Amino acid sequence: MLVGLLGLQGAFLDHIPHLKRCGVAYTIVRDREVLGRIDRLIIPGGESTVMSKFLLEFNMLQLLTQRIQDGMPVWGVCAGAILLAAQVDGRPGSVGVLPISVTRNAYGRQVASDTQPVDVPQLNLLNYPAIFIRAPRIDKVGAGVTTHAVRGQDPIFVQKDQLMATTFHPELNSDDCFHRYFIGL
């Protein structure tokens, strides 16, 4: 298994220690050739508009969409969740393959970033310290989307088939449970 880390922008390097501990091979994805060779992809946190621009500029958007439609597992973290979302701030999303609607930076600017204890029954986690950094809010989930964790009433960890999204940053915690779950999809 070869896990790709979209390396166009954002915090992709923070996933590497987790993947190493999980014992899987990984590679940084910055072009179509590598995107065509990976078995699954993590889209990291960062700036979703910049990542979207680079996906278009490097002619990767159509191939990424096709790989997802062909069944490649993908995990969108924060900005990655925004890229996967079907609707963003009331407009169509850039990749748009996950039937969720999101609002960017819904909890405030950088200074409003925080850690909240959340329960994640799917992973047998209680009071997991979820780190939110300029996080999007999932306003609506569509057909077939399962919500695995919430912050108040807001979904923060969702999944539809081989696609998963977290609006927080599990890669900033020391445990590997989210990475192991993703590898198992």
Q: Which residues are designated catalytic?
A: 78, 169, 171
Q: What is the distance between the alpha carbons of residues 82 and 138, in angstroms, rounded to a whole number?
A: 9
The two tokens of residue 181 are 């779950």
Alpha-carbon gap, residue 11 to 19, rounded angstroms: 14
Instruction: Provide the β-strand partners of residue 93.
Output: none
Roughly what angle, to the nearest 10 degrees, separates helices 48-57 and 61-69? 100
CA distance 136 to 76: 12
> What are 143-149's contacts with CB under 8 Å, separation 24+?
143/99, 144/99, 145/98, 145/99, 145/100, 148/120, 148/121, 148/122, 148/123, 149/118, 149/119, 149/120, 149/121, 149/122
115 in helix, strand or coil? strand
